[in-house]
Amino acid sequence: MGLREALSRALRAIGREAYNLSVGIFKAMHEESVEVLELQLREMENAFLSLILGGMVGLPLVPLGLAAELAPLLKDEVKIMEERHFLGSDVLADYFANLGGEW
């Protein structure tokens, strides 16, 4: 009976570790997908801001009336644009920073 109990304990331990591994992988994938979605949201907000404000600076993207109506709704996007302006054109560094790790 000693061998059977030892084997049973070993198999239970392996099962627990496999379960913990799968839970950890799931959590990591979930967190990574949330980070990617947040990055995409920031990029889409930046594109929206460029689309709306482009008509005000002379780019023929949106009719001026529509841009004037939507302009008060762009307070958050203007803040994003200001933050991105200070980052300069270093978009790749921004992407790698969002991926995590020490680059």
pLDDT in tens, 51-82: 777 666 766 666 666 667 777 877 787 777 77
Nearest-angstrom CA–CA distance, 97 and 41: 16
Q: Where are the domains of the chain?
A: 2-99
pLDDT score at 9: 92
Q: What is the pLDDT of residue 101?
A: 60
Nearest Cα residue to 39 out of 99, 101, 82: 99
> What does pLDDT average to over the chain?
77
pLDDT band at 17 (very low <50, low <70, confident <90, very high): very high
